[in-house]
Structure formats: C-alpha cells, structure tokens
Amino acid sequence: MAVSLGVAGWWFREPLRNWLRTKIAFVQVSAEPLPKPDLATYQGLVKNLERWRIDLSKRYETGSKAERLKVEQDARLILEQALPALMRCWLGTPWDFNGTAEFPGEKQVACGYFVATVLRDAGFRLDRYRLAQQPSENILRTFLDRESCLLTVGQEYEAFAAGLENAEPGIYVIGLDTHVAFVIVEKTGFRFIHSSGSRPWCVVDEGKDEANVLRNSNWRMLGNLTGDSGVLRRWLKGDKLTVKET
C-alpha cells in the first residue's frame, strides 16, 4: 500500500503541484481586502451633480446657439468626471443575480441594476426597475440610436481592446452576452466597471488585463453616452427617458 501511494505521488506530482499553486493563488487573491462601498460620498456627489445640472439647464434655456454648445461641452465634462466617481462609490458592493440595491453597500446589486441606478442618480430621468430588467441592447438603445452603437460578434479580445483604447474618450455602456457594464475610455486607456457575477462577485473596477468578463464575451455592443449631444441635451433638460422594450 505504501509503495502504491509512493508511485501515485510520483506520477501525480506535477498535477498536485499545479493544484497547490491554484489553491495558494486563490488564498492570496481572497485575502486581498475588497474596497468598501462609500455611501456618504455617493450621496454628496448626487446632490452636487443635480445642482450642477439645474444651473447648466438654466444657462441652456436662455443661451444663444453658441452658448448652448458651450453648455453641452460643460455638461459632458462634468458627467465624465462625476459618473466614474459615482461608479467607484459602489466598489465592493456584493453582486447577486436578483440584486436590486438602491445605494452602495445597501445589499446585493445585479449588473443591470448597477448601471440603471448610477445613471438615474446621475440625473437621467428614467424608470430604474424597468431599465435594469431589459436586455443590454435595450438599455443602450434607451439612450442611443442603433446607428450610434458599435456591435461586434466573435472579435478577438486583443483586437477589440485595441480599438477601445483608441476610441473617442467618454463614458460608455457596453452590452455583453449576458451582462451590461460601464466602460470609461480615457487617453491613457480604458476601465471596465461592473457588478461582476465572477470572482470576486461584487462591483469592480478593472483594466484591460483583468477584465475577463469583457474578454470572454462573444457579443459586444458599445455606445458612448457622453459623446452624444442628444443624450447630453436630455440630461440637461431633465427629459423623461422612455425605456426601450422591443
């Protein structure tokens, strides 16, 4: 019996070593503390953003054509600063397929509810529940025309990521096979922020190399919210958005 165990240990030494490496890596990753949701900062950002929106809206209503274009530029700048800050207040909030959390850290949040709630709290007038329950294409098309969205199917991740790194800067919503998320595109690259149904099963902020959910998706539909003047105008004027359901 001892001989048999010794022979088995010899033959399976490499698989055992690999298994141990996996377990050790898992312990190391699991031991790394997750960010804590920041409700106080979130609430302050929401209030300030609404004040900015109202101020810009007044300027937009009374301005000339040139002044309105300047207001749209200011609105874009503010949203591109405020939206990532709002998203990051949710980091560490647990994911659940049925999660409907209304605030960071309140309880679990599904990917669609994360996207819908951040956009609602940023000042977009929408039915958060109805939007969150839609397929990702409908979430995108609630804000953008189909022609304003880029759809790729079966594209290799490295090619997709290279295109994204060179895309127009802005706050994007991206729909995947069974997921919806935000992508922040900057001159230095992109960040993928989402409520992840994969490890570590919470809201995360990932770069190109960590974004495995984005990497593994076959279907990707992408739209730049802050790069669209119609989206900016609806935000400024507080127009009610009709959720796309077909």
**Cβ neighbour number for residue 110 with a 10 Å cutoff:** 21
* Number of Cβ atoms within 10 Å of the Cβ of 122: 21
Q: Computed from CA positions of residues 109, 222, 177, 32, in that sequence, does the dihedral angle turn out positive or negative?
A: negative
pLDDT, position 34: 85
As given in the structure block, the two tokens for residue 93 are: 């909030």
Closest by CA position to 204, among listed 98, 117, 90: 90
What global pTM score does this model have?
0.87
- Return the closest-CA partner of residue 203 out of 26, 38, 49, 50: 38
The pLDDT value recorded for residue 31 is 52
Q: Is the pLDDT of residue 9 over 70?
A: no
User: Which tens digit of pLDDT belongs to each residue from 169-210?
Assistant: 999 999 999 999 999 999 999 999 999 999 999 999 999 999
pLDDT of 5: 38
Q: Residue 189: what residue type?
A: G
**Residues in the chain, total:** 246
- Is the model's pLDDT at 19 over the cut of 50? no
State the angle between helix axes of 2-11 and 13-31 in degrees (0 to 180), rounded to the nearest 10. Answer: 70
- Domains of the chain, residue spans: 2-31, 39-237
Please state which CATH number belongs to domain 39-237. 3.90.1720.10
Nearest residue to 139 (alpha-carbon basis) of 152, 153, 128, 123? 128
